[in-house]
Copies of this chain bind each other. A is one copy, B any other.
Amino acid sequence: MSASNQPPRLSFVQKLHRFKDRMRDPEWRLFGTNLLLGKFLGLAALAAVILGLHAVASLFTISTALADTPAAAAVTAADLLDQAKNPVINPINTLWVLLGAFLVFGMQAGFTMLEAGFCRSRETVNVLVECVFDTCVCGLLHWAFGFAFMFGGGNAWIGWHMPGDPSKSLIFMSGVSVLSVYGSTGIPIVAHYIFQFAFADCASTICSGAMVGRTRFIGDVLYSIGVSGLIYPVFGHWCWGPDGFLATMGSEGGFLASLGMNFHDFAGSTVVHSIGGWVAIAGAICLGPRLGRKFKRDGGGPMQPHDLTIAVIGGLILWFGWYGFNPCSTLSIMDNAGAGRVAMNTTLAACTGGIAAEFLAFYMLKKWDTGAMVNGFLAGLVAITCPCYWVSDVGSCILGAVAGLLVIGAMELLEHLRIDDPVGAWPVHGVCGIWGTLSLGLFACGQYSAAGSSPTGVPEVVANSPQALTGLFYGGGWAVLKAQCIGSAIVCAATFASAMIMFKALDAVKLLRVTKDDENEGLDISQHGNTAYPEYLVAALASPHAQEPVSGRGSLPGGDVAPAK
């Protein structure tokens, strides 16, 4: 029960005693909370300034509108005209995109269940509060500037204005008029925002999975701001922005013009999942493992999930939400065949991913493992997210199965590297995000347009033409694979580097990890003041040191159980 793998900053028993003394001392509690409160007042002040600035700006906007009614009307008339040209198509496509937005938002329930189920009961409340708070922060930031940074026109690195119209800012949506639509999609920007917020929220939530059980709540909030507000939208702009350098890569005058091929990521294997996964691993590295976590090579193994029912149902809800994630990323149901194909490929990759991972786990453990099953189908889903529009059904089966094997290998690798990723965020999202991105270069089957679906009409049939996206295995040569490798490498490296800087900075100011005392008490008690299941009796194995009774928590005569609180 030695803490040999822990940072040797202090003796655990001493800490425990000091902590018990301190807990009895109201002054000490006051000191800590005041410290926290002070920091947060600063944050609140910042938020107030942002809101205040915008309130002022919007007052100006309204007075401008009052002054310039003709100009404003002219713009709106043009918008209306656009709508008039497509009187029914744009509403239908908006319905499709909103359906997708709602389903992807529903994935928050899935992520929260997955993380809550896979953690220990003593850190469950922290997972719950973190996931919800994170969603709230992401919604605000994506409206304030995240959407503008990512989908706005601007330059190759970052966006800020309406695509094609630099006079209208997307910061705080201030240049958005009643009927503004996003680019050529015909989707109102307000609806597009909802869809994209849900994606951003996924990326942000993925990170938290690897950081369960030892992250300070204030640190959670601050890195969430960093991911939702900067890392995700800026690097996302590179790939999905109208003038991002990876989106325009290979075009004349663009980045690597000689390549003649841009980076493709249909629904976000790189943009959402690799970014989320590589922030996650940076966080897990900077934090270090949870107290008491022993790795396999040290005679231990992963800490046990406290509620597999919740975890598996969460996984199924994620799969359900993925049907919004991938098919609705066509942004147009006019390409109904494309949407159906994406849905089919998504299903097949999930199926083979789950089966492959389960068989591999059985081969290793001689048991039909639960975690492998869930992480396996999630791996398949992550992998198919990038190529789902351009690959065949057989290709989907194969690349999903490979993802299912990779995720098991990556979990073993983390165990070997003594990195504690409680829910497997990096194996699932980081590793399989890369694999899915690269797999397009192998499996793009040469039947479908490289530009993706056309929002306002029937998609062109481009099979086996130069307009089709064709990978290595289908006779298309190395071009697509090269573009995918370059894009994936740039985004993952940039994400990992910036995330490491962010986490190291948080760590330097002692905001990243809770104190040992707090961690031993359990994050739920120390950060949130309550436990998730105060009525249930919880076995001592939920404590960091499995066989030792937790002092001060009323253990029973048998000495190996203690009430949850």
Contact = CB atoms under 8 A, between A and B. Distances in A.
Given A105-B323, A344-B193, A528-B370, A44 B139 contact: no
B464 A69 contact: yes
Interface in A343-384: 343-344, 347-348, 350-352, 354-355, 358-359, 362-363, 365-370, 373-374, 377
Contacts of A112: 312-313, 316
A285 interface: no
A3 interface: no
A328 to B, nearest CB: 9
Interface string A43-83: 01001000100110010001001100100110010001001
Contacts of A40: 359, 362
Contact of A355 (B113, B133, B445, B564): B133
A91 B334 contact: yes
A333 B93 CA distance: 10
Given A128-B370, A191-B339, A192-B340, 10 more contacts: A66-B464, A73-B461, A94-B333, A109-B313, A112-B312, A137-B355, A191-B343, A193-B340, A369-B528, A536-B539
A179 interface: yes
A188 B308 contact: no
A132 B377 contact: yes
Contacts of A109: 313, 316-317, 320
Interface in A288-334: 304-310, 312-313, 315-317, 319-320, 323-324, 327, 333-334
A423 interface: no
A435 interface: no
A103 interface: yes
Interface stretch (A160-168, A254-262, A551-559): A551-559
Contacts of A565: 539, 541
Contacts of A365: 529
27 contacts: A44-B359, A51-B398, A54-B394, A88-B88, A88-B89, A91-B92, A92-B333, A95-B336, A98-B340, A102-B324, A108-B320, A116-B309, A132-B316, A136-B351, A136-B355, A138-B351, A139-B350, A140-B352, A140-B355, A143-B393, A172-B394, A173-B393, A188-B336, A192-B340, A308-B530, A367-B530, A535-B542
Contact of A336 (B191, B310, B464): B191
Interface string A173-205: 100001100000001111111100100000000
A84 to B, nearest CB: 7
A458 B76 CA distance: 12
Nearest to A69: B464
Contact of A194 (B54, B131, B340): B340
A557 B178 CA distance: 69
Those 10 A-B pairs whose CB atoms lie nearest each other, nearest first: A191-B340, A367-B529, A33-B366, A94-B336, A190-B340, A139-B351, A136-B351, A136-B354, A128-B312, A535-B542
A397 interface: yes
A189 B336 CA distance: 10
A22 to B, nearest CB: 14
B312 A310 contact: no
A136 B359 CA distance: 13
Contact of A558 (B88, B113, B304, B557): B557
Contacts of A385: none
Nearest to A72: B463
Given A91-B92, A528-B368, A373 B336 contact: no
Contacts of A105: 319-320, 323
A145 interface: no
A464 to B, nearest CB: 6
B88 A92 contact: yes
A341 interface: yes
A12 interface: no
Interface string A196-228: 010000000000000000000100000000000
A4 to B, nearest CB: 25
A99 interface: yes
